[in-house]
Structures are given as C-alpha cells and as structure tokens.
Amino acid sequence: MTARSNGAVAYVSEQRMPPTSIKAESPLAEISRKWLADILPENFTDCHEYLAAVRLARHMSKVDVCRASQINGDPASGVSLPTVSKIESGVYGEPGFRTMLRLARGYGIPLTNLERFFS
C-alpha cells in the first residue's frame, strides 16, 4: 500500500492482491489428499474402520463430521455426535439409507464407498 499526501488530504492507493482462491494449496492439504488416495473401501473389512481412516486422513474430528453432514447448519439434517461415535466404534449396527447418505456427506465420500459394506 502506498500513501501520498496532497495538503491536508491523504490519498491511499491499494495494490490489488490475487484472489485467495488462487492461493497455493497448503502442504498439509496435499499430504492429506495423498493419504486419502490410499484409503480405498476395498482395503477394509468393516465400515467403521474405513470411516475412521477417512476422518483421520482428512484431519477431522467427529464434531467436524457432524457439522459437515448438516444441510445449511441444521443439526436435524445431519448425523449426531453419539451416532458418529457408535458407528466408528463398530457398535451401531447397520445404518439405514438416510443415515448412510448423511455419513457420506459428513465424511466427504461417495455413497458407493459405503454400500459395499452393507450389501
């Protein structure tokens, strides 16, 4: 930023910065993407192990998964924290279709990655 004064009035001209969306990707995000590329549902026998691996590879907490599963911030449209905890610990059983949709949205994975566990 440069400033020029003209008598009692100061004029400030700003340099245009590139948009933040063009900003280089962080090293952590790049590493996370590489870890996630190696996490295939075919490599897991149980859904809860797969979901925990995806969450950890994305550096997400269980609360992050709950928030990401919500539509427009409405908690009723997402998966609750107790449900995420039960699913990841393997004590939940087989989730219904609506829960599977919410899980896929929360973990940021395609629904097809979950269906192989519940066929």
pLDDT at residue 94, as a whole number: 87
Q: What is the mean pLDDT of each run of 10 residues along the chain (119 residues)?
A: 46 40 58 69 90 91 96 94 95 91 94 87
Confirm whether pTM is higher than 0.75.
no
**If residue 53 lies in a helix (H) or strand (E), which one and from where to where?**
helix 47-57
Q: What's the pLDDT score for residue 15?
A: 41
Contact 68, 32 (CB under 8 A): no
Give me the residue label for tokens 């409405």.
74
Which structural domains are found in the chain, ordered by start? 24-118 (1.10.260)
CA 94 to mean position of chain CA atoms = 23
pLDDT at 99: 93
Q: What pLDDT score was predicted for residue 93?
A: 85
Three-class DSSP category at 13 = strand
The pLDDT value given to residue 83:
96
Name which of 52, 53, 26 is nearest 38 in CA terms: 53
**According to the model, what pLDDT value does residue 1 have?**
45
What is the number of other CB atoms lying within 10 angstroms of the CB of residue 105? 18
